[in-house]
Amino acid sequence: MRHVWSDGERLNKELRSAILEHERSGPGRSRTNVGGWHSQPGDLEFCGAAGKRLIDHMVEMTNIATFKLMQGYGQQPPPFSWTIQAWANVNRNGDFNRTHTHPGSTWSGTYYVDTGDPPEGSENGTPLNLMDPCQGRANTFFPILVPSVAYVRPEPGLMVLFPSYVPHMVYAHRGNRPRISIAFNMRKEPFP
């Protein structure tokens, strides 16, 4: 599921400033990032009101996706509570994220604050690469109709939500300005 939030431009100004300031406070974590900066996971408290608003967007999108999924299977979803973890990623020229999944979560997602300044002639910036978790299906089950890879081109204000078991990665960023995103996990409670 993908959606561009109408208040993204306003939020992104505040988020960009808060994230870059927070980045200066310490080295961050090393997870799937090769280079770049990864904040500690939490509820984006270092982003102030903009972080709280973005968390609200995450919950709203997750509720809609869950409702649509369950409705597709003929079920009426009960109200869920979610445990949320979110963190900022800052990738500079050459930084990337290895292929990974997010175990222990129900949904995962990414929100784009700044796509950086991609080189002239490239489209929008470094994409998110989502891969089919069943590699055996990739070349046997209607490969023309059901692609084994989906590329999501970043766009400021865009939020992407996908099942947490979907393998994904980000190629090396090419640009002088940092590519800033916020990744998040939504865990249905009780889990699973």
- What DSSP string runs through 116-147? --PPTTS-SSPPEEEE-S-GGGTTTS-TTTS-
**Residue 23: its H or E element:** helix 8-23
Asked which of 71-75, 98-102, 117-121, 158-162 is least confident by mean pLDDT, the reply is 117-121
Alpha carbon dihedral 62, 41, 113, 96, in 10-degree steps, equals -110
Cis peptide before 192 (omega within 30 of 0): yes
Question: What confidence tens digit (pLDDT) does each residue in 127-157 have?
Answer: 999 999 987 777 777 777 777 889 999 999 9
130 is in which domain, residue-wise?
Answer: 2-189
CATH of the domain at 153: 2.60.120.620
Structural domain count, the chain = 1
Q: What is the pTM of this model?
A: 0.93
Cα separation, 99 vs 9, in Å, equals: 29
Question: What confidence tens digit (pLDDT) does each residue in 6-28 have?
Answer: 999 999 999 999 999 999 999 89
